[in-house]
Amino acid sequence: MTWVKQRNPNEPEFVQAVEEVAEVIVPFLQTDAGKAYRDAKILERVTEADRIFMFRVPWMDDQGNYQINRGYRVQMNNAIGPYKGGLRFHPSVNLSVLKFLAFEQVFKNSLTTLPLGGGKGGSDFDPKGKSDDEVMRFCQSFMTELAKHIGAYTDVPAGDIGVGSREIGFLFGQYKRIKDHFMGVLTGKSLQYGGSLIRPEATGYGNVYFSREMLKERGDGLEGKTCVVSGSGNVAQFTVERLIGLGAKVVTLSDSSGFIHDPQGVTAEKLEWVMDLKNYRRGRISEYAREFGCDFFEGEKPWRIGCDLAYPSATQNELDERDAKALLDNGCKGVFEGANMPCMPGAITLFREHRAMFAPGKASNAGGVATSGLEMSQNKLGLTWSRETVDEKLRDIMSDIHDKCVEHGRVDNGYVDYVRGANLAGFLKVADAMLAQGLV
């Protein structure tokens, strides 16, 4: 870790993500089973990106002013398949954030059972408050540079925070215009031009399926459980949809301005209203409280609300040790990461010490990228699978990931440490591929 910290100064998120993996992998490397990986310096090699692109993104706003943002693509590791991972457009984007996300993606993609390497990209561009025309001009400029570095067998980006179907459409249109190729170079596309059914739902649904597997492992189920969810974007919306579909009750949603608490529960009708608010009207979650007559807590996070289960689904480091204590004190039995690295290290330690269920995002939110892998397969075959087919494959993949976490994560007295299981299983597949491919 000293070596990693020295080589990556001023990159706290990246160091945090490496530390979480190293905590599990370093002790394994000291064993006989880990010797070959230790000798070949596999862990050191996976912390160093294959390559990173940083570029200027010039665009013009609606008033005719010149605007400059910075674009990035981190191609972290392609030992088991082409680089794969989302694009994030948010003012907080910097190299540290994208390197942490790309690093996580390597292990997550390995867990999916599909041939996907790991990457991530994005920009400090903020789509909030921008017109559709401004977003389009930005996306066209961003793709004009990115197109040089991606391809259906090289690197296949997708969405993440601030990049949804509108942005993917603009990015795909510009790629096609530059390259004159109609190919699956992005996932998360709309259905009319090569998208997959269930891809929008997949991260949220996948996390719920994963939590159902974890509950089953303990002889329990989702029916009747009270759940808190953070965020109100893609992952949060479909987490709520699946939870209420499976008989649970969701009482919170949030955005960067605060959270709403609806003790009656978010119904399918209320969720439809939220989807319209967030995906088309692009409004604030506080409007929910006014529309449905419940409380809005400005600037706060939902973790002090009593619940059985929690699904952090907004952003990194949104749940600290104090929040974890509040959740446990109020009876929460399980935390399932929909976002990437939403729980801070102190919170994770507390959950594990209390033997609560804790699902690390690289396992529990892998359904999104896995379904992107299914979109890539459909594009290559020139076929469109039905909703039922894709949903069944997603359920099977989440169940396989769960089984691998149990296989590698069962510790003394039967407790399954999913952090250990996910990191070890994710690492081993990539590490074996790297060993087989020599010193590259």
Ligand X SMILES: NC(=O)C1=CN([C@@H]2O[C@H](COP(=O)(O)OP(=O)(O)OC[C@H]3O[C@@H](n4cnc5c(N)ncnc54)[C@H](O)[C@@H]3O)[C@@H](O)[C@H]2O)C=CC1
Q: How far is the CB of 25 from ligand X (least distance, A)?
A: 22
Q: How far is the CB of 365 from ligand AKG (least distance, A)?
A: 6
Q: Which option in ligand X, ligand AKG, none does residue 81 bind, with CB closer than 5 to 8 A by kind?
A: none
How far is residue 116's CA from residue 372's CA, in Å, rounded to a whole number? 10
In terms of CB distance, is 42 or 370 closer to ligand X?
370
Q: How far is the CB of 149 from ligand X (least distance, A)?
A: 21
Q: Pick the closest to residue 367 from 183, 170, 114 (CA basis).
A: 114
Q: From the list 47, 69, 75, 234, which residue makes contact with ligand X (rule: CB under 6 A)?
A: 234
User: What length is written for the chain?
Assistant: 440
Chain residue at closest Cβ approach to ligand AKG: 86
The answer to whether residue 161 forms part of the interface with ligand X (CB under 6 A) is yes
234 is in an annotated binding site: yes
67 is in an annotated binding site: no
372 is in an annotated binding site: yes
Residue 184 neighbours by CB under 8 Å, 6+ apart: 152, 156, 194, 375, 376, 379, 380
Q: From the list 96, 226, 372, 423, which residue makes contact with ligand AKG (rule: CB under 6 A)?
A: 372
Neighbours of 94 (CB within 10 A): 16
How far is residue 429's CA from residue 37's CA, in Å, rounded to a whole number? 12
Q: Which stretch binds ligand X (CB under 6 A): 25-33, 139-147, 159-167, 422-430?
A: 159-167
How far is residue 369's CA from residue 202's CA, in Å, rounded to a whole number? 8
361 is in an annotated binding site: no
Q: How far is the CB of 247 from ligand AKG (least distance, A)?
A: 27
Catalytic residue positions? 120
* Window 318 to 377, contacts with ligand X (CB under 6 A): 318, 338-340, 365, 368
The beta strands (E) that lie in 150-248 are given as: 155-158, 226-229
Helix (H) or strand (E) segment spanning residue 261: strand 258-261
Cα–Cα distances in angstroms (integers) from residue 195 to residues 165, 372, 378, in the given order: 10, 9, 9
Q: Pick the closest to residue 147 from 121, 185, 102, 184 (CA basis).
A: 185
Q: Which option in ligand AKG, ligand X, none does residue 77 bind, with CB closer than 5 to 8 A by kind?
A: none
The answer to whether residue 146 forms part of the interface with ligand X (CB under 6 A) is no
The answer to whether residue 233 forms part of the interface with ligand X (CB under 6 A) is yes
* Window 70 to 129, contacts with ligand AKG (CB under 6 A): 84-86, 105, 108
Residue found by looking up tokens 């040089």 in the block: 148
105 is in an annotated binding site: yes
How far is residue 358's CA from residue 343's CA, in Å, rounded to a whole number? 10
In terms of CB distance, is 28 or 72 closer to ligand X?
72
Q: Which residues are annotated as a binding site for NAD(+)?
A: 203, 234
Give the residues lining the site for ligand AKG (CB under 6 A).
84-86, 105, 108, 158, 160, 187, 340, 368-369, 372
